[in-house]
Amino acid sequence: MSDRFWSKMEFDLDEMRDLFRMLIESKIDAVGQRITPGNKKTGKKAEWRDSSPRWVDDEHGRAVRAWLMIPYIDAINQELLEDYQQTGKRLVKSVEQRIAAREFTPELIQEWGLLCSCAGALEIVYQSRPDQGNLRRGSNNLDAHRYWFAHYYLRIYRWGKTEECRDKMEEFINDRFRQLPPGEEKDWFGRFLSNVPSDVLEDARRLTGEFREDLSASEMEELIKQSAPPGVMALDLNFLHPKGGLE
């Protein structure tokens, strides 16, 4: 094989190497952190903060979104994407050694083909444009949270004891939130809680208006008659026995 051929192989390998070094954005990072909730009644939109990894850019003099990052695309299997990247990382070193030794062998052809396949899959996602708006609108859907809240709230509900019941739920959710390690489930439970300190608990946050005031017991009774919506978490937690705990 000519030097031109090997030079082209080296050039293409360098181009692919960056793909296998890139960060892979998570769904949590892609959605971002909601600072304030929206309000359908007033038309106020929720305010969000971008939580994707950022790099300090000397040219701009500030932290900017990491440009060597594969964006989160909701329709893409993230585990498969990570497998492509890890496989590519393993193959790069072997292919690099074969090219340096100018070994044009069946093994090189096989490894090169697999490497190109992995790089191609990553490149397609890297060049894609995620729809952050749709992700955030989806994260605003509280159907699963309402169902979960109703599931536990109605166990302790007593006529005339609404505030006490909400206090119990606030305590229950704050306890659950504190126990969980950082991750998707902790973020899920965090959506029950506002940034306002609890009125009745120390070192705890108040329920959002949706769960502290807006969602009525009659609405919850209707919700619980339906099938659980997608995304409901932890319906088997230890909690007060039905109709117990509030005398």
Per the prediction, the chain carries an average pLDDT of: 82
- Out of 1-5, 40-44, 179-183, least confident range: 40-44
Q: Is the pLDDT of residue 38 over 50?
A: yes
Mean pLDDT for 81-107 is 93
Q: Is the pLDDT of residue 83 over 70?
A: yes
Confidence of residue 247 (pLDDT cuts 50, 70, 90): very low
List, for residues 166-215, the tens digit of each pLDDT value.
Answer: 999 999 999 999 999 998 889 889 989 998 999 989 999 999 988 988 88
CB count in 10 Å sphere of residue 53 = 13
List, for residues 10-32, the tens digit of each pLDDT value.
Answer: 999 999 998 998 888 877 677 66
Output DSSP code: residue 159: T
Confidence of residue 245 (pLDDT cuts 50, 70, 90): very low
Confidence of residue 242 (pLDDT cuts 50, 70, 90): very low
CB 47 within 8 A of CB 34: yes
Secondary structure class of 135 (helix, strand, coil)? helix
**Distance from C-alpha of 44 to C-alpha of 40, rounded to nearest angstrom:** 7
CB count in 10 Å sphere of residue 190 = 14
Burial of 169 (0-12, 13-18, 19+ CB in 10 A): buried
Domain ranges for the chain: 3-137, 142-224
Q: Is the pLDDT of residue 49 over 70?
A: no
Written as six digits, the tokens of 67 are 């440009």
Highest mean pLDDT: which range of 51-55, 65-69, 89-93: 89-93
- Out of 44-58, 149-163, 175-189, least confident range: 44-58
